[in-house]
Structure 1
């Protein structure tokens, strides 16, 4: 999992067509030559000017009277093949961050195969992660960047510590740069320091920050023959500012009484002990004691994802809805009724309902009336947006919208591809609810601060932030004929 070379160049229309920075790792290059000798497919690294010309060609950029335009090439971002005088340079990973192009060439260790599948090359994911961290280090810039820029000086320093011989040690920008700035303090260490924590915090006020970010996905059909499908999953982020080489924290991840326990606990590598046994189907049974999952970990310096989790299905959705649409290609009538669950916090950062209209012309006009909030047409003129607001009416926690929407003549060739869907035809349509609630989780997941233990013992300030967001929250038209597939969360 090594990198042969790194290039930072400018976009062709940025005023300086060249490679601003390049780094070639000689030791990795020797390994690349050895690996490729048996297959006779070794390609020597080109000069920077030759590489830049090949890069511009591979990206489909042509120079015509100092104007650049896309050529008709099949792009396979982020992995490209560059044609040079030495041969085909592959796999070159490329990402763009205006006005720069960041590139790297991972080492292909399987020399017996000329072109192994990308999934079999570990350097692909490492190289892509490296470029993302370089992009974070350089940051967006509106000013012209040249070879004397201070950002490129920081990049040289970063690469010197992050991958000194082409093999990544620690790519996290904040950790690496903090290690550089506090290098002198390492000389006074009497205790062995873990490799994943090369930085010591000194003279800081002890502070532990937890962020519980929970998502809910749902598909509602409002049919007796088709049950609604939904799930809740979340992640817990942590940043601990504690002195010492390897402090450890023990924390309980709990749910409120009479809530289903959390399950599918996936923890960060810094976790030493975790209560990961399955509690599926085990409830509080009326007890006042919450069900907890105990986690002991030694935190790194930077913010990290302590764990992922999911929750068993509860009996009620936070927002239950009914959606009805009738009409034809030229005009439809819609009716939406929403009901907020009485135990859900009635305070939203935002709450809106979007009605995308597929395989129809753009919206000509509409006539709408709602019990709360405002209605607008989306900037693409393909969506009707109902801004419910930050609260549901307290008297009944219900909201309703009635509208008639008229469309322009439908022409598939003029419709953006995103609104051409062979599934959402005729009356197959849905309304999508987008919302965010702060200081609330639907699973009842909390950090039990009273039971938290820190070693070595220190009085630390503990901050916990919770929020619930809709991830894919749909209500399907009750008059439609089809069902939408419900995929598992991406982290499972």
Structure 2
């Protein structure tokens, strides 16, 4: 409806001067139609200047408390004001003070003003802000120190557009520094297999892969953009339950909807999985995921029988053919809970070697870096225990009796003893 550029002049009688104003009659006609009985006309420059300076607390008489302006019910958290003019209120007026200049406009509201509509529903307010900010940038470029550098408007606009392109990005608060040096991106993928195996026909084995993608990005620039794309191997299982780092800027909705909780879920997304992000300086986990692989990597059979003070154990392991037979290390931990220290062990292994930790009541079967060509190995033997001492021996309320062979989150239960049963996802 109208635009004003006002210079703030403290100490003068009016405390300001209208340097430029423009009214738009065609828009004013539309305001009359839209606002109806709540329509308030645009005042002349003099009354508008006085009312605006008073509302902004920039006039000479703004030292006294004014109930209509300074009460707690009138705390203004925006740059949108209502100006008392001629017994009525002109609203909304967008105005802000910057570098001694007041930029103001009265945007069009395409609805009645009583009751007063929410600011977010008035598109003219955001448009007014954009107009005023554009005016300020223009004057900064064309007349930075009060002297006109270029009277050609198009040149000034081109300069503004060019400056907006080359303007350096603002350092975000969460990024404490920048990297200088050779650019490089390091990515590692770690997968843990959680498994429960029972070797019983009436109890189904369960397993699940839980993975994490870790990144370290050494890149110059304040806000570099990086995209990591993950592709599944041949016959690979889709990723599910994906959680991403807050630095990820966008994500395909199909990636987020795939879930392992619902067994009937058919929304599996097979990739590629693309993660665009602006990396922090430190190493971080880009995403976590789960995957329902067809079979566990190692199938196991474990049996234990108690005879007097001895335990007879049998362990058979088979590496699945789909798993690459090459490891950094592979070992099996066989703990004996709620018993005394190991006093004697007789055993036979088809591959690898066995270490005995007597005070910990623990056997560690060191397989090494690969299985034999047959992909199958076995361990059998007897273990004798001494008197129980609760101070040193491992104790577990769940494992009462001789129940499980354990390696991290990979459990193979004694096939001759009862075992707690898991249902569905191991993450539940």
Report TM bin, short chain.
Answer: 0.5 to 0.7
Structure 2 partner of 1:425: 400
Partner of 1:345: 324
Residue aligned with 1:277, SS: helix
2:357 pairs with one of 361, 378, 381: 378
Change (3 A) 1:379 1:297: farther
Aligned: 1:263 with 2:228: no
1:474 to 388, 395, 411: 411
1:354 to 333, 338, 342: 333
How far residue 296 of structure 1 moved from its aligned partner, in angstroms, is 0.7
Q: Distance in 2 between matches of 1:329 and 1:271?
A: 60
Q: 1:418 to 1:426 in 2, by over 3 A?
A: same
How many residue pairs were aligned?
254
Shift of 1:367: 0.5
In 1, Cα distance between equivalents of 2:293 and 2:316: 21
Quick check: 2:340–2:393 contact (8 Å CA) kept in 1? no
2:250 is paired with a residue whose SS is strand
Residue of 371, 378, 395 corresponding to 1:400: 378
Per-residue CA shift, 1:13-70, capped at 9, x if unaligned? xxxxxxxxxxxxxxxxxxxxxxxxxxxxxxxxxxxxxxxxxxxxxxxxxxxxxxxxxx
CA RMSD in angstroms comes to: 2.3
TM-score between both structures, scaled by the size of structure 1: 0.49
Secondary structure of 1:271 counterpart: coil
- Which of structures 1 and 2 has the bigger CA Rg? 2
How much has 1:279 moved relative to structure 2? 3.7
After TM superposition, the structure 1 = structure 2 runs for residues 43-442 of structure 1, keeping only pairs within 5 Å, are 190-202=168-180, 204-275=181-252, 276-279=255-258, 281=266, 291-311=271-291, 313-328=292-307, 330-378=309-357, 380-394=359-373, 396-410=374-388, 414-416=389-391, 419-427=394-402, 429-433=403-407
The structure 1 segments of at least 4 consecutive aligned residues displaced by more than 6 Å after TM superposition are 486-490
Higher RCO structure (Cα 8 Å, ≥6 apart): 1
Question: For residues 222-249 of structure 1, what are the alpha-carbon distances to aligned partners after superposition, in whole Å with 9 as ceiling and x for unaligned?
Answer: 0010011211111111111111110111
- CA distance in structure 2 between the partners assigned to 1:389 and 1:198 by the alignment: 44
Structure 1's 372 and 197: CA in aligned 2 closer, same or farther, altered over 3 A?
same
Gaps of 5+ in 2: 1-166, 260-265
TM-score by length of structure 2 reads 0.56
Q: Deviations over 1:377-410 (max 9, x none)?
A: 125341111111111111x100000111111133
Question: In 2, distance between residues paired with 1:426 and 1:386?
Answer: 21
Following TM superposition, by how much is the alpha carbon of 1:329 offset from its aligned partner in structure 2, in angstroms? 5.6
Q: Contact between 1:274 and 1:295, CA under 8 Å: does it hold in 2?
A: yes
> What whole-Å deviation, never above 9, does each CA across 1:261-293 have from its counterpart, x for those lacking one?
101111111110122332454569xxxxx6222
Contact 2:342 2:359 in 1 (8 A): no
Task: Give distance in 2, aligned partners of 1:380 and 1:485.
Answer: 31
For residue 416 of structure 1, report the CA deviation from its aligned partner. 3.3
Does the 8 A contact of 2:331 with 2:365 survive in 1? yes
8 Å Cα contact 1:329-1:426 kept in structure 2:
no
Matches within 5 A, 1:22-37: none
Structure 1 residue 200, shift from structure 2 partner: 1.6
Q: Which runs of 5+ in 1 are unaligned?
A: 1-188, 285-289, 434-470
2:120 paired residue number:
none
SS of residue in 2 equivalent to 1:352:
strand
- State how far apart, in whole Å, the 2-side matches of 1:358 and 1:340 are: 27
